[in-house]
């Protein structure tokens, strides 16, 4: 019997979201039906509703979620009813060229549910990032469910499903920050603060937070920033160099996704250092750099997709660190809201008032 539940839908380009009745099929082979407990509001949800990702309206928004598995389809053995899971958008296939080379965190053929969730009139919904979790129950591929310690708060744990994992992973996976490194993070929203927390976990000796908003810089200190730079008032490249003996940071993480801040990251890095781009640019953006500087400064320029995370490896480990008090996931939850409040949460996100608004169900 299909399930009829309440969900947040973006019906057409630019239109505000609405609460609709969503019809969720019983799980088929390889699928899982999950009772959603929490789902964070992410920039990508807003991009979907603005038509910035693709035109496959209507979208079922939400993708940064945790919940309890209600039922699984045939052939599913890794998770079962009652399991507390974080949903991921990297259910690795095991067969693509990345997986076959032992690099599943790059998997190019990730799995999603085969069956579609629909509106009551049968219109198929496009779930955001193949999840769709601003809804009481959702249908995903079982590989999109990662079992973690059920003692964790759903609001905090669910954040590992997207943005916070992206920032943590930009530091610990892509940037490979290690003990004694100097790290600069440009842009201290949820993603940048997670990069700061990741750098602190990895043992960075100096962590420089750069933002244009003093309130954000204050929050960044709470996640482990040792120094802060307001780049509206101070040249961030010079400031990072001054704080690192004139050299620049070993790893600079750009968590905004803009050409001018990417250029700052490029020059705020020490010779042979690493730049990690985790902020997501828009199609119109271009960068121009002297090729001689690209060569002459050496090191590596990397991008971090979803923090290069492997959910089965990273989610349980990070939840354990959270439970031990070593990773402040609760600090990212600025407010908890209801399904009806998503549109207002987009506005707060836009105004820079929150690290994360989290829908509780
Ligand atoms: N220089 C420094 N900081 C800036 C600048 C700038 N030119 N412009 C914006 N910022 C700061 C903002 O003040 C804010 O603190 O960058 C931060 C961006 O944070 P959020 O808007 O909360 O975004 P977040 O959720 O952290 O995501 C950052 O990563 O996943 C992507 O799509 C996401 O591109 C976005 C980025
Ligand atoms: Zn694969
Ligand atoms: Zn997201």
Ligand nearest to the CA of 88: 3
Q: Which residues contact 66 (CB under 8 A, 6 or more apart)?
A: 36, 37, 38, 84, 85, 86, 87, 148, 152, 154, 155, 157, 158, 161
Once rounded to an integer, what is the mean pLDDT over residues 275-304? Answer: 97
Q: In 3D, which of 88, 84, 200 has the Cα closest to residue 152?
A: 84
User: If DSSP codes are grouped into helix, strand and coil, which group holds residue 60?
Assistant: strand
pLDDT over threshold 90, residue 87: yes
Ligand 1 centroid to residue 234 C-alpha, Å: 18
pLDDT over threshold 90, residue 116: yes
> Which atom of ligand 1 lies closest to the CA of 280?
34
Q: pTM score > 0.75 for this model?
A: yes
Structure letter (DSSP) for residue 347: H
Residue 97 pLDDT class (50, 70, 90 cuts):
very high
Once rounded to an integer, what is the mean pLDDT over residues 290-312? Answer: 98
Q: Whose CA is nearest to atom 18 of ligand 1?
A: 189
Instruction: List pLDDT tens digits, range 27-38.
Output: 999 999 999 999
Mean pLDDT of all residues belonging to the chain: 98
Residue 353 pLDDT class (50, 70, 90 cuts):
very high
Once rounded to an integer, what is the mean pLDDT over residues 209-219? Answer: 98
Q: In 3D, which of 11, 44, 71 has the Cα closest to residue 130?
A: 44
Residue 127 pairs with which residues in a beta bridge? 60
Ligand nearest to the CA of 162: 3
Ligand nearest to the CA of 334: 1
Half-sphere exposure of 111 (CA within 13 A, CB side): 22
Structure confidence at residue 136 (pLDDT): 98
The DSSP element (H or E) to which 356 belongs, if any, is strand 356-360
Residue 332 pLDDT class (50, 70, 90 cuts):
very high
pLDDT over threshold 90, residue 203: yes
Q: What are the start-end ranges of the E strands in the chain?
A: 3-10, 18-24, 31-40, 59-60, 64-72, 84-87, 118-119, 126-127, 137-141, 145-147, 182-186, 206-211, 227-230, 249-254, 269-277, 300-303, 333-337, 356-360
Instruction: List pLDDT tens digits, range 246-271.
Output: 999 999 999 999 999 999 999 999 99
Q: Whose CA is nearest to atom 14 of ligand 1?
A: 189
Structure letter (DSSP) for residue 289: -
Ligand nearest to the CA of 354: 1
> Which atom of ligand 1 lies closest to the CA of 257?
34
Q: Whose CA is nearest to atom 3 of ligand 1?
A: 211
Ligand 1 centroid to residue 58 C-alpha, Å: 27
Structure confidence at residue 14 (pLDDT): 81
Residue 137 pairs with which residues in a beta bridge? 35
Once rounded to an integer, what is the mean pLDDT over residues 138-144? Answer: 98
> Which atom of ligand 1 lies closest to the CA of 281?
34
With a 6 Å cutoff on the Cβ, whether 255 touches ligand 1 is: yes
In total, the chain counts a number of residues equal to 361
Residue 75 pLDDT class (50, 70, 90 cuts):
very high
With a 6 Å cutoff on the Cβ, whether 191 touches ligand 1 is: yes
> Which atom of ligand 1 lies closest to the CA of 191?
26
Residue 11 pLDDT class (50, 70, 90 cuts):
very high
The span from the CA of 152 to the CA of 174, in Å, is 26
The span from the CA of 88 to the CA of 147, in Å, is 11
Once rounded to an integer, what is the mean pLDDT over residues 179-192? Answer: 98
DSSP 244-270: TTTS-EEEEEE-S--HHHHHHHHHSEE
Helix and strand counts by DSSP (H, E) for the chain: 11, 18
């Amino acid at each position: 019997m299909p399930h009829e539940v309440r969900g947040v839908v973006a019906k057409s380009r630019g239109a505000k979201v609405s609460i609709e009745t969503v019809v969720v099929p019983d799980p088929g082979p390889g699928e899982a039906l999950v009772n959603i407990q929490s789902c964070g509001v992410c920039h990508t949800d807003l991009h979907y509703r603005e038509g910035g990702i693709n035109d496959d309206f209507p979208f079922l928004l939400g993708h940064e979620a945790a919940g309890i598995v209600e039922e699984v389809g045939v052939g599913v053995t890794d998770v079962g009813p009652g399991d507390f899971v974080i949903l991921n958008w990297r259910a690795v296939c095991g067969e693509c060229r990345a997986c076959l080379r032992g690099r599943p965190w790059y998997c190019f053929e990730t799995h999603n549910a085969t069956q579609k969730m629909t509106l009551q009139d049968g219109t198929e919904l496009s779930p955001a990032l193949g999840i769709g979790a601003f809804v009481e129950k959702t249908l995903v591929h079982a590989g999109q469910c990662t079992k973690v310690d059920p003692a964790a708060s759903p609001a905090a744990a669910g954040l590992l499903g997207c943005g916070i994992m992206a920032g943590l992973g930009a530091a610990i996976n892509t940037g490979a920050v290690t003990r004694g490194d100097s790290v600069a993070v440009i842009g201290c929203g949820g993603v940048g603060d997670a990069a700061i927390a990741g750098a602190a976990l990895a043992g960075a000796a100096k962590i420089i937070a750069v933002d244009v908003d003093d309130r954000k810089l204050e929050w960044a200190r709470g996640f482990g920033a040792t120094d802060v730079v307001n780049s509206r008032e101070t040249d961030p490249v010079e400031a990072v160099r001054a704080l690192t003996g004139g050299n620049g940071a070993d790893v600079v993480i750009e968590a905004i996704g803009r050409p001018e801040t990417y250029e700052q990251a490029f020059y705020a890095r020490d010779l042979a250092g690493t730049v990690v781009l985790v902020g997501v640019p828009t199609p119109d953006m271009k960068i121009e750099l002297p090729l001689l500087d690209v060569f002459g400064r050496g090191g590596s320029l990397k991008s971090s997709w979803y923090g290069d995370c492997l959910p089965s490896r990273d989610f349980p480990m990070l939840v354990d660190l959270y439970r031990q008090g070593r990773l402040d996931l609760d600090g990212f939850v600025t407010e908890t809201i209801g399904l009806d409040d998503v549109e207002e949460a987009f506005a707060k996100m836009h105004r820079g008032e929150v690290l994360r608004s989290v829908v509780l169900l």
